[in-house]
Amino acid sequence: MPRTTLITDIASLVTNDPAQGDGTPLGLMTDAAVVIEGETVAWVGPAAKAPSADETYDAAGRAAIPGFVDSHSHLVFAGDRTQEFNARMSGRAYEAGGIRTTVAATRAATDATLEANLTHYLEEALRQGTTTFETKSGYGLNTEDESRALRIAARHTDEVTFLGAHIVSPDYAEDPAAYVDLVTGEMLDACAPHARWIDVFCEKGAFDGDQARAILTAGKAKGLHPRIHANQLSYGPGVQLAVELDAASADHCTHLTDADVDALAQGNTVATLLPGAEFSTRAEWPDARRLLDAGATVALSTDCNPGSSFTSSVPFCIALAVRDMGMTPDEALWSATAGGAAALRRTDVGRVTVGARADLALLNAPSHVHLAYRPGVPLVSEVWRKGTRVA
Ligand code: NIG
Ligand code: FE
């Protein structure tokens, strides 16, 4: 029998199961308890009725939430872009081309440096409650460095994304078509065994709709599932393409036409919003309210990367989404947990229900609402991942 742990005296528990508790999408239970058996949740219910377990953990009237599912990050990189950030805060605009700085630093770094960096940001995220994360290549932009990034990422997560089509490699500046051939040919062959997903930055200065379609279609033929950086810096074809190709997620969604919103509302593709990017590039906020009112599924993630969004903090993103994007605290919490799981087409994470992976965080607060109400305060106090207390 695997070891059991009872977490009891939880003042407010977000389960993300509408059949539980208050019947809202959060399935909020008060005075609750959770039993973990091995790596999974074995029991959820009122603290007064909790069964006994091998060990008991007293939440002492705090709130518990599912561990965050950060479905969008770029964590295999070296160096930083402090100068570029400084220039932006003095009025310069963010451009896709800044990615080249990180490509040069990443290519020059050893495997050990890249892995140490990745581990550092993952531990940072875990302490802030992230128990599932996706991460991408995209700072190698040649076959060797892209496949190296994916191999390193795959040691730390199952949610690995091949983003050879981040921008046209500087080695192919004069011949973007030849770079698309490389990404869909030799590079894809080398990278597909290490990844689950394929992504394209569909944007002016990166890849247009036709190129993005060719790249994602080639990836699908090799068994990868598509997701797209879509409509971040300008209006464009990315969102429609995501829905057309049944991508799990269209990420950013900052510039949307009514037709884009309708497509997301009717399709199977999650709209993943990344407010850290708008914060760090001083850009216009994505309109979460418009997407939610239309019926789209919305996820919230960090986009952690050294250029456009150098935060690993999902609580920070929740606070931004509530303050500036029209989300309620309940919606933002759902989007950062169950929404992230939907963006990764997962049902085993992002919820605290019997049979789910035992990933949860305790907050130094009586309710999840405090994540937005007390911005910038490190409220995550304990974290369980796969049933083990890790932070
Ligand atoms: O999601 N938009 C494209 N890629 C990243 C930025 C990467 C960078 O600036 O280094 C993003 O914002
Ligand atoms: Fe990104």
Chain segment 305-321, per-residue pLDDT in tens: 999 999 999 999 999 99
Number of domains in the chain: 2
* Same domain? 252 vs 307: yes
pLDDT at 385 over 90: yes
Residue 286 to residue 340: CA distance in whole angstroms: 17
Which helix H or strand E contains 300, and what residues bound it? strand 298-300
For residue 253, the enclosing domain spans: 67-342
Report the mean per-residue pLDDT for the chain.
98
pLDDT at 1 over 90: no
* Same domain? 272 vs 334: yes
Q: Give the rounded percent of residues in the chain with a pLDDT score beyond 90.
A: 98
- Between helix 176-184 and helix 209-221 the angle, nearest 10°, is 20
The tokens for 311 are: 């935060």
* Same domain? 76 vs 214: yes
Q: What is the ipTM, given to two decimal places? A: 0.96
- Cα of 36 vs centre of ligand 1, distance in Å, is 38
* Same domain? 71 vs 61: no
Query: For position 96, what pLDDT does the model report?
Result: 79
* Same domain? 253 vs 364: no
Query: For position 81, what pLDDT does the model report?
Result: 97
Q: Backbone phi, then psi, for 317, in 5-degree steps?
A: -65, -40
Per-residue pLDDT of 98-154, as tens digits, reads 999 999 999 999 999 999 999 999 999 999 999 999 999 999 999 999 999 999 999
- Cα of 307 vs centre of ligand 1, distance in Å, is 6
Q: Among 305, 310, 311, 317, say which to mutate for ligand 1: greatest number of ligand atoms within 8 Å of CB.
A: 305
Question: Which of 258, 223, 230 lies closest to 244, judged by CA?
Answer: 230
The tokens for 108 are: 């020059």
* Same domain? 179 vs 204: yes
Query: For position 28, what pLDDT does the model report?
Result: 98
Residues 130-163 as b or e (16 or more Cβ within 10 Å = b) = bbbbbbbbbbbbbbebbbbbbbbbbebbebbbbb
Residue 24 to residue 17: CA distance in whole angstroms: 8
* Same domain? 89 vs 167: yes
Q: Is the CB of 163 under 6 A from ligand 1?
A: no
If you ran DSSP here, which 8-state letter would residue 305 be given?
B
What value, to the nearest 5°, has the Cα angle with vertex 96 and ends 91 and 101?
A: 90
Q: Is the CB of 201 under 6 A from ligand 1?
A: yes
For residue 226, give every residue at least 6 positions away whose Cβ sits within 8 Å of its Cβ, in sequence order, or none: 197, 198, 199, 216, 219, 220, 242, 245, 246, 247, 248
Query: For position 97, what pLDDT does the model report?
Result: 81
Q: What share of the chain is helix, strand, coil (3-state, %, to 5)?
A: 40, 25, 40
CA 95 to chain centre: 22
* Same domain? 120 vs 13: no
* Same domain? 10 vs 93: no
Q: Was 166 annotated as part of a binding site? A: yes
* Same domain? 129 vs 177: yes
Query: For position 95, what pLDDT does the model report?
Result: 84
* Same domain? 117 vs 52: no
Residue 250 is part of a domain; what is its CATH number? 3.20.20.140
Find out whether 58 and 8 touch, Cβ atoms under 8 Å. Answer: yes
pTM, full prediction: 0.98
